[in-house]
Amino acid sequence: MPQLVVQGVTKRFGGLLAVHDLDFEIEERSIVSVIGPNGAGKTTFFNCIAGWYQIDAGTITFNGMPIDKLRRDQIARLGISRTYQNIRLFPEMSVTDNVLVGHHHFLRSGWLRSVLRTPGMVAEEIKAAEEARRILEFVGLRGVGGTQASKLPYGDQRRLEIARALATQPKLLLLDEPTAGMNPAETAQMTSFFRRLRDELGVTILLIEHEMRVVMGISERITVLDYGEKIAEGTPREIQSNPRVIEAYLGRGAGGGAASSQQPAASSDGAPAE
Amino acid sequence: MRQLAWGRVIRIGLIGAVTTIFLCLVGIVPTFHARSLIEGLVSLGQAALVLALLGTGWAASGAVSRGNSGAVVAAALAGAIAGAGLTALVVVGSVVDLREIFLPASPAMYEIISYGQGTVGAVLNIPFGAVIGAIAGAVRIAPLAVRRPLLTGMAAVLFMGLFSGILRNAMLTTPLQDLARLLFTAQGLTVLGAVLSFVLFAGIRELWFYTGLRRRIKDLPPARRRALSVPAFVLLAVVVIFLPQALGPFVAHVIAIVAIYILLALGLNITLGLAGLLDLGFVAFLAVGAYTVGLLTSTGEFGIAQMSFWAALPFAVIIAMLFGAFFGLPILNVRGDYLAIATLGFGEIIRILAGSDLLLPILGGPQGITQIPKPIDVPPNTFLAGPNQIYYIALAFAAVVAFVALRLRKARIGRAWLSIREDEDVAEATGVNLVQTKLLAYMLGAAFAGLGGGIFAGLVGSIFDSSINATVSINVVAIVVIGGMGSVPGAVLGAVFLIGVPELFREFADYRFLFYGAALIIMMIYRPEGLLPTRFAARVLHAEEGGVEGAVLAAGAAGDGDKA
């Protein structure tokens, strides 16, 4: 059974159909990308899964459990975690504390025990701190635990966002344009890091990405959205030669001609047709 | 040499002129003239004008490039313009009767700013302003070794002059009587007192820097430094304990109120400082606490239980906490400006309810609940008599609140609060239950406010609907904001400045909110993080203290070691 099943999901903003009657499935431990032109509804789709939006129609089930009526923190507890298109850390908090917020729902100490600093609470905190350090090391952030999150360089902030998401021990990780603003070397590093996430931690990865090198390089399957609807789905090879995808990216009329060229959507979206 | 920015200098001068005219027309100069800073030499009113002129010169000197001798010229020009403002005021005042609009524009006021010499005297303000401005300008560009002692000394004289009455009274009760008579008069400092204050404070500060004492203390190993801080803490504790005894009953009452506000501010610090939830109706919980203690302890008409203060206090805390939850629930999803308005409304609801006819048979309305016994029954003139005991009780509880806040800050709950403050949506998506976490913040803040209210009832001995006032809430918010969000020393300093100082200068009560507003605006422009903000680095500095954060940092250090 697929890990996440999305059926007939619709999200409206006033008269705008941001996501329309969308069906989608993702298998456990797979890496899947969602692509599409700007405004295609990719982030809205993420927001529907992670509980940021109440959906207007359809159902979303995660490991067989309906989640479309749940709050964000409940969804996080079930094992869906995410990052954000524009980095959203807790900027004034330390790097370690950012990760520890991700641990929040594993920790039990209430306010009274925290005030009294009972041995159980101290043991729990030490364990959590150790775990946080391990996660930070895993994402490649070493020795910066005490730094203020907003003082980190850009790439490290992206890593910290992933570390925070990992701290919630997700089964499904939603990454919203995780390589945006990175140079090619960093992007390549990130790409192999995503594969490590899946291979070593067993996390399913759902990715919104504009960088086609990343998408084509690591995705096992790709879903293409346009105007809130799924226009194509398949392996990278299938998507590259799909005329509807080419049309969506390059505009009407370009489809026929470009279908013969082998990499129609090789650069980021909106690239002029050649 | 850079061209002087004459336009800016003139503009600064004009701002200075407006300031001096304002100080006169709102009555600060004539009111403050009644008290002297240095007996027979400078009144507080004149000092205010001189400060304005100094500020003008200082600003003008900064408007031109550094180290430029033109800076002094610019400062003198700006000072002269500012002084000319006073001249113009006298001239205009001799033609038009400004009293119709500005009541303080009395002949006495003109007398002050024209040195009793009419228009001729008023013209003197121009060269006078130029000289003062030039002095400020020269000081600003002077080397640090000159500038620092001058500024320190001036601040010291101002401070000693302002507090001369209190210091004198305190010293008169001790063997230092003769010294007190030498340094202070009933009105202000003596010339000798002023000179001594200047030299003493400037000297001590310079010694502090020159002997390298500061550097040496900073460079000490942490263990030694902590050992050094022990006597400092003992000294501080002694001062804190004997402060009300030394300063007499009036000041003791004031510092008891300050202590209660410290407690309230630390309570709000949890809601506002940690969780970032603005609460402009904080007084509601204070009212709940005060009325609970009143009802349960009063031996008068409305008392229902005649309990002791200490038996009633836990009820005050618990009931305030319940109100916190009750008020917190409907506003869980309200944010920002709307939250401010909603909480302000809660405060008003409680105030109106307390004074309403509906609750008149229970709460006594405007007559209030009276005959609330003191927490500790001791004969007058003993160590714990009167407001003294309230001061100690409030401070002790404030310490408890500070401790709780500090501990929670470094625990799961505190991190959840901070994450909500930083980004509520992301906090929830990271697994933080907003309902529980926010409610706990409201409830703890309310509980401490209820505690403060109960102690307040014990201090005053009565509670009326008029004691519940939106100004109380605003005072507490202002203390937290000016002191520095989430900062314990900030709350103490903020309460001293915003509550203590205005209470001590009752004679200038009319200008209380003027200074308040000015202080808030200046703070928001120049120091939005507050007077004593929590430093992020503090967390790192406390690393070696062991415990939980020690473990965290040890882990961090281990990471560093790996890297090296």
- Decide if pLDDT at B309 tops 50: yes
pLDDT (tens digit per residue) in A26-74: 999 999 999 998 889 999 999 999 999 999 999 999 999 999 999 999 9
Nearest CA in chain B to A108: B412
Q: Which of A88, A142, A144 sits opposite B562 (nearest CB)?
A: A142
Q: Which of A76, A93, A111 sits opposite B419 (nearest CB)?
A: A93
- Decide if pLDDT at A274 tops 50: no
CA nearest to B328, candidates B480, B423, B441: B441
pLDDT of residue A266: 41
pLDDT (tens digit per residue) in B389-439: 999 999 999 999 989 988 998 899 999 999 999 999 999 999 999 999 999
B273 or A267, greater pLDDT: B273
What is the average per-residue pLDDT within B439-464? 93
SS3 B30: helix
CA dihedral of residues A171, A175, A178, A180 (deg, nearest 10):
170
What is the average per-residue pLDDT within A135-161? 92
Among A268-272, B217-221, B295-299, name the one with the lowest average pLDDT.
A268-272
pLDDT (tens digit per residue) in A205-239: 999 998 888 999 999 999 999 999 999 999 999 99
Can you read off the two tokens belonging to residue B86?
């006073």
CA nearest to B481, candidates B271, B269, B263: B269
* A101–B562 CB contact, under 8 Å: no
pLDDT of residue B189: 87
- Decide if pLDDT at B540 tops 80: no
Tell me, letter by letter, the H, E, C secondary structure of B353-402. HHCCCCCHHHHCHHHCECCCCCCCCCCCCCCCCCHHHHHHHHHHHHHHHH
Between the two ends of chain B, the Cα-to-Cα distance in Å is 49
Contacts of B484 in chain A (CB under 8 A): none
Is B292 within 8 Å of B518 (Cβ atoms)? no
Is A29 within 8 Å of A196 (Cβ atoms)? no
- Decide if pLDDT at A272 tops 60: no
* B556–A97 CB contact, under 8 Å: no
Mean pLDDT in chain B? 85
* B548–A77 CB contact, under 8 Å: no
What is the average per-residue pLDDT within A167-190? 92
- Decide if pLDDT at B545 tops 70: no
Among B36-45, B337-346, B418-427, name the one with the lowest average pLDDT.
B36-45
pLDDT of residue B535: 56
Calculate the alpha carbon distances from A72 to A47, A51, A54, B475 in Å.
10, 5, 11, 37
- Decide if pLDDT at B262 tops 70: yes
Is B483 within 8 Å of B490 (Cβ atoms)? yes
CA dihedral of residues B297, B300, B304, B310 (deg, nearest 10):
0
- Decide if pLDDT at B548 tops 70: no
What is the average per-residue pLDDT within B444-450? 95
Q: Which of A101, A104, A125 sits opposite B548 (nearest CB)?
A: A125
SS3 A208: strand
Is B284 within 8 Å of B323 (Cβ atoms)? yes
pLDDT of residue B66: 57
pLDDT of residue B518: 85
pLDDT of residue A66: 95
Question: How many helices and strands, by DSSP H and E, does chain B display?
Answer: 27, 2
pLDDT of residue B186: 79
**Residue B386: pLDDT band with limits 50, 70, 90:** confident
* A129–B415 CB contact, under 8 Å: no
% of chain B with per-residue pLDDT over 90? 36
ipTM of the complex: 0.88
In A156-228 the beta strands, taken as DSSP E runs, fall at: 172-176, 204-208, 221-226
**Residue B4: pLDDT band with limits 50, 70, 90:** low
Determine contact: B329 vs chain A, CB below 8 A: no
In A14-86 the beta strands, taken as DSSP E runs, fall at: 16-26, 31-35, 57-62, 65-66, 80-82
Chain A nearest-CA distance from B294, in A, is 28
- Decide if pLDDT at B369 tops 80: yes
- Decide if pLDDT at B295 tops 70: yes
* B555–A92 CB contact, under 8 Å: no
**Residue A140: pLDDT band with limits 50, 70, 90:** very high
Give residue for tokens 């797979």: A30
Q: Cα separation of B302 and B294, whole Å?
A: 8
What is the average per-residue pLDDT within B351-378? 87
What is the average per-residue pLDDT within B375-391? 82
Tell me B533's DSSP state.
P
In A220-270 the beta strands, taken as DSSP E runs, fall at: 221-226, 229-234
- List the single best residue of B270, B430, B545 to mutate versus A (max A Cβ within 10 A): B430
Chain A (105-144) residues lying within 8 Å, Cβ to Cβ, of chain B:
105, 107, 109-111, 114-115, 117, 121-122, 125-126, 129-130, 132-133, 136-137, 142-144
**Residue B500: pLDDT band with limits 50, 70, 90:** confident
Q: Cα separation of A225 and B147, whole Å?
A: 67
